[in-house]
Every structure is written in C-alpha cells, then in structure tokens.
A = this chain, B = another copy of it.
C-alpha cells in the first residue's frame, strides 16, 4: 500500500485537493455524507426556483471516476483519533497517513438554535427546496386570504444577514415577486410583497469596498427591497420577527417567512478535533491552523476551507469563500506531493521513517499558505451586481456579466454549464423561473398548511 490520504468533505476545498493529488503517488479516499459536490454560490437560485438541484450539484463519483488513485466513500465522519491516525465514521473507521479536514460550515444562530425552525438557512439542497417551498407557499396562501393584516404578514419576507447570500436572496425574491409571478395570481398582486433585508452592521456586503455596498443597497432599493442596517434580530417566531436597532429600540414585524443568512459556524468536527489534539478554535468554531494549514503538533493533519481559521496578509482571518478553499485544497495537495518527494530522496539518510509514516521531518521545509485574492462579487438581480477584481471595482451590467461568466466556468461538469446557461437565458428573456415546484413535507410543525 502507498501513502493513504483521507479527505473529509467534497466541497471546494476537499474536491480541489483530491483532484490536485491525481498525479501524486498516494491513494486518495474522499469521504462525504452526501454523494455529490454542491456548488454553493448558486444554491440561492435553487431556493427561488430558477435552477434545479441537479444543476448546481455533481455526483462525486462522476467527477472522480477517471482518477484511478481516488475512491469515494459515502459515510459520516464523527471524529478523529489523531494519534492512532484513524478517522472515526458513524459505522466504522478508516486509517490515514495524511488527513485533510474540509468539512465546511453550517448556519449558526448565536445560541438561538430554536430559531432554525422558523428561519431556515441556506446550506444544503434540502435547505434550498425548503426555502423555495416557503416562498412559493406564502404567495399561494395569500391568494386565498381576505384579511388585510394577515395578507400583509403572509407577503412579508425578512432576510436576516446582509452578506452575499442575504443580498442575493433578497434581490431574487424581489424579482420573483415583481417579475416571475406578476401575472400568476388573480386575487393578489405579488409585486406588493414586502422584502426586508436586515443587517446588524452599518452596511451590507461588509467584505466589499464601502462604495460597492452603497451601490448594492441602491440596487436593492430600486427592486423594492427594504434595506435596514444597524438592525439585529432579537427573536424569531412562526408569526413574526423582533428587530432591535442600535439605539436599543425594538419593533416586532409580522412576517410569515424569515430566512437566515446571518452567521455560520465550522462543522462540529472542528470541536471533536480540538478535544482530541488540543488545537484552539476561534469564535466561529474554526480550527486555528499553522501557516502551512496543519494542526500544531500534527503535521499530517491539514484543515482547510470554512473549517480553518487562517490569517491573511491584512492580519484578518480569510473569509469563508470558495476561492480560499480551492487555493487551500491545491496548496495542501502540493505540500503532500512535495513531502513525499523529499522523503523519497531523503530515505537513505532517514531510515527510521516508518512505511507510509509521518512526514513531520519535512514540514519545516515548505512555504506558508498565501491567499492570492482574485476578488469578490455578488449579484443583486437581473443585470445588477457588484464586483471587486483586484483593485478594480465594477457594478451594474458589467459586474453582472462578469458574475455570470465566473460562475459558469467554475461550475463542475460541462453538462451543468450548458443547462444553467440555457435556464439563465430563459429566465432573463421571459422572467420565468421554471423550477418553482413546491415539493417535500412541511418541515416546521406549526400546523399552518
């Protein structure tokens, strides 16, 4: 047996690491709970019925089918036995020589887990179809309502969190209400829906230059979205949301649909790793790794992507975006290949190295991970987006075209690119969103059907 690399998580970090190891003299096992890679940047389009789940997902086996040194394992990882070099699955275990943890993050309700039922977040395919279900059902229910107060609450949508996901969701819901559904109903006017984007900080898109935040807010307001900054959420129920402004004032807003885009925390696997190895976690539960993305004292364990706390050139932690995870995946693959080469050339002098064993001796040789920031972008709606590429800022139509292009080329599988392109063209010209199906069971048990 060669050197065993186990990768936990088939998101951007894990998948790019696996693919970048294709020529390395290792055996790669990619473990994921799901059988597909999810292209999360487009997930909000599933949530508003513009795309189908399969358009933003690709089966991991299909992606890695031709990579002879890789295998895929559908399993849930519950822990790591670092000293024994074993990953613990819910139903078994699997040994490693090198481990790459790339299990991502999930929503975080800042201690208010009970809010999840009434304010779902957008991380999985199931989240997206559930959100789609709630948005579409709100209009269906409104069509049958007579009471004006109940009608207004049913057609009020509150999106919590003004990051890219919140902005994209708010813009897309506004366009659905004003464009897609405009002539679909007979009793209600869907364009009268109220969409409110609530952000605790003093501007939306805090990761962007301030000028682009302003432009994004303006574009949202043109779509009819109420943008409320400096406003946090103090309570969420099935019927309403309690908003708190900076001056301590509180307002209860009747809203039947609340969506959560406010916070994420690292996979619980980070905590399990911390308990095992003593590594520190940051406030978002991310593993504070060394400059080479390894766990201090465990040079054979890498943590990358949304699970890792890594400080960038500006001394700020790197953001949880796909480009960081991709670059870290590639970096880690390069490091592993490098170490194996060094070990091979050094084998004559270091005969004590056990077979497939530790690579600690070579760890010091390589350079630290450095993030090359390609930029950042968010779309607000039809022909409206903001983007920073290097030092250049774009907004409006040019930014939107750029956004389309970048997202299309990064989609995995050519078939999906083609299908997404066609549906985008369709949506653009007809304002229709064909995938607006209400499917699945009611998730919250509030009895409102």
Contacts and interface: CB of A to CB of B under 8 A. Distances in A.
Interface in A171-203: 181, 183-187
Contact of A440 (B73, B75, B126, B418): B126
Best-buried of A53, A92, A181, A416 by chain B (most CB within 10 Å): A53
Contacts of A432: 62, 415
A28 to B, nearest CB: 11
A144 interface: yes
A65 B440 contact: no
A283 to B, nearest CB: 32
Interface stretch (A218-226, A343-351, A419-427): A419-427
A78 interface: no
Contacts of A423: 415, 419
A30 to B, nearest CB: 11
Task: Please give the count of copies of this chain that the complex contains.
Answer: 2
Contacts of A34: 438
A38 B174 CA distance: 27
A61 B184 contact: yes
A32 to B, nearest CB: 11
A131 to B, nearest CB: 14
Interface residues of A, number: 53
Nearest to A140: B74
B53 A439 contact: yes
Contact of A435 (B54, B66, B126, B426): B54
Interface string A350-383: 0000000000000000000000000000000000
A437 B59 contact: yes
Given A66-B183, A422-B419, A437 B140 contact: no
B185 A61 contact: yes
A95 to B, nearest CB: 15
Interface of A: 34-36, 49, 52-55, 57-59, 61-62, 65-66, 71-75, 90-92, 125-126, 136-137, 140, 143-144, 181, 183-187, 413, 415-416, 418-419, 422-423, 426, 432, 434-440, 449
Given A61-B184, A419-B419, 19 more contacts: A34-B438, A52-B435, A54-B434, A58-B434, A59-B434, A59-B436, A61-B185, A62-B432, A65-B183, A72-B184, A73-B143, A74-B137, A74-B143, A74-B438, A126-B439, A415-B423, A419-B422, A422-B422, A440-B440
